[in-house]
């Protein structure tokens, strides 16, 4: 049997490999395909040992080895039925002959990282994983954890491991123990501007300035502005969250501001950030100054 694990979701790939190893009754062989030599293929793919009648061979990054990868497709029909081969390739070249042969003869499992719109998928996974780790999470804590950490499974998993050490998980515990990702910081920053808290805006900008990239931060802030505009134009936060894949909690926090601002107020905010974006692209001022200026326009509306 031949399996190709591919995609950029390294968490799911590693978990799948771990499950295959746990299921296999024996010692799995792990091979670094990038350093393999052609002469290794016969023993690797056709031979059995004196100590086991079944073998599990896991080969990583074989496509980085152009010489071996180019001929690997020719070996597929000759792989022994007693050998299970698992190829781990994060981004194989689908134009190669070997990949085309694998598509015909192998089981291909492609797992991709979740996008920012896969909030419900992330929440469902966190709920199931929390049960597996015996972490008691209510709905609000689960939603906060996903919003605070983001949709990266590695970060979510490590966050759950931290929470597994705590007797009782509360919102306060999550806020203390789990570091917020940049998107969560941006959410709080934009929320402070909408509240008119210019002092808090300045404090947060100074803190973020020490570790974040201003261009990335402006893009994330612009995403918040887009969400606000979507709520204002639709007038229905729940539908916006569902239609665009936004986090329901984040949208619910924007609804009061949307009602207060209306279309005219929101238009001014959109214009402020559009101008900041243009000024940043044309290097008219220092990036952090442009970000702070746009936020202060929101805070002083």
CA distances from 254 to 160, 191, 196, 238, 276 (A): 28, 8, 14, 11, 21
* DSSP-assigned letters across all residues of the chain: -EEEEESS-HHHHHHHHHHHHHHSSSPPEEEEGGG--GGGHHHHHH---SS-S-EEEEEESGGGSHHHHHHHHHHGGGS-TTEEEEEEESS--TTSHHHHHHHHHSEEEE-----TT-HHHHHHHHHHHHHHTT----HHHHHHHHHHH-S-HHHHHHHHHHHTTSSS--HHHHHHHSPPPHHHHHHHHHHHHHTT-HHHHHHHHHHHHTTS-HHHHHHHHHHHHHHHHHHHHHS-HHHHHHHHT--HHHHHHHHHHHHHHHHHHHHHHHHHHHHHHHHHHTT-S-HHHHHHHHHHHHHT-
What is the rounded CA–CA span in Å between residue 156 and residue 260?
A: 35
What pTM does this model have? 0.67
Identify whether residues 11 and 61 lie together within a single domain.
Answer: yes
Q: Which residue, 74, 66, 79, 54, is CA-closest to 2? A: 79
pLDDT at residue 266, as a whole number: 93
Cβ–Cβ under 8 Å, residues 186 and 214: no
Identify whether residues 199 and 168 lie together within a single domain.
Answer: no
pLDDT at residue 96, as a whole number: 94
pLDDT at residue 250, as a whole number: 73
What is the rounded CA–CA span in Å between residue 267 and residue 68?
A: 58
Identify whether residues 173 and 188 lie together within a single domain.
Answer: no
What is the CATH number for 198?
1.20.272.10
Report the number of distinct structural domains present in the chain: 3
Identify whether residues 144 and 194 lie together within a single domain.
Answer: no
What is the CATH number for 68?
3.40.50.300
Q: In which domain, by residue range, is 151 found?
A: 119-177
pLDDT at residue 188, as a whole number: 86
Identify whether residues 217 and 295 lie together within a single domain.
Answer: yes
pLDDT at residue 241, as a whole number: 66
Boundary of a domain, candidates 84, 110, 136? 110
Which residue do the tokens 């496509």 mark?
A: 63
Identify whether residues 156 and 251 lie together within a single domain.
Answer: no
pLDDT at residue 237, as a whole number: 58
Boundary of a domain, candidates 151, 177, 203? 177
What is the rounded CA–CA span in Å between residue 182 and residue 103?
A: 39
Identify whether residues 285 and 186 lie together within a single domain.
Answer: yes
User: Tens digit of pLDDT per residue, the chain (301 long)?
Assistant: 899 999 999 999 999 999 999 999 888 999 999 999 999 888 888 766 656 678 899 999 999 999 999 999 999 988 888 899 999 999 999 999 999 999 999 999 999 999 877 888 999 999 999 999 999 999 999 999 998 898 899 999 999 999 999 999 999 999 899 987 877 788 889 999 999 999 999 999 998 888 889 999 999 899 999 989 988 888 765 666 666 767 677 777 788 888 889 999 999 999 999 999 999 999 999 999 999 999 999 998 7
Counting beta carbons within 10 angstroms of the beta carbon of residue 291, is it exposed (0 to 12), middle (13 to 18) or buried (19 or more)?
A: buried
């Amino acid at each position: 049997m031949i399996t190709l694990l591919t995609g950029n979701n390294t968490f799911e790939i590693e978990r799948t490999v771990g499950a295959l190893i746990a299921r296999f009754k024996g010692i799995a062989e792990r091979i670094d395909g990038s350093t393999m030599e052609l002469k290794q293929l016969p023993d690797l793919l056709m031979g059995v040992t004196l100590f086991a009648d079944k073998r599990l061979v896991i080969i990583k990054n074989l496509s980085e080895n152009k010489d071996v990868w180019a001929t690997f497709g020719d070996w597929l029909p000759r792989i022994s039925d007693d050998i299970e081969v698992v190829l781990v390739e994060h981004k194989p070249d689908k134009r190669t002959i070997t990949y085309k042969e694998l598509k015909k003869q192998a089981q291909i499992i492609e797992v991709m990282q979740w996008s920012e719109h896969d909030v419900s998928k992330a929440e469902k996974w966190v709920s199931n994983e929390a049960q597996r780790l015996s972490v008691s999470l209510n709905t609000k804590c689960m939603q906060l954890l996903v919003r605070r950490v983001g949709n990266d499974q590695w970060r979510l998993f490590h966050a759950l491991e931290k929470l597994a050490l705590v007797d009782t998980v509360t919102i306060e515990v999550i806020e203390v123990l789990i570091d917020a990702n940049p998107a969560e910081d941006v959410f709080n920053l934009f929320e402070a501007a909408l509240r008119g808290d210019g002092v808090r805006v300045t404090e947060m900008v100074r803190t973020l300035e020490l570790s974040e990239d201003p261009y990335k931060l402006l893009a994330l802030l612009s995403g918040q502005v887009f969400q606000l505009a979507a709520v204002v134009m639709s007038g229905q936060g729940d539908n916006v969250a569902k239609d665009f894949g936004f986090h329901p909690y984040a949208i619910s926090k924007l609804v009061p501001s949307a009602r207060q601002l209306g279309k005219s107020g929101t238009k001014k905010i959109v214009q402020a950030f559009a101008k900041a974006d243009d000024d940043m692209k044309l290097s008219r001022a220092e990036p952090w100054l442009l970000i702070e200026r746009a936020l202060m326009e929101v805070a002083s509306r």
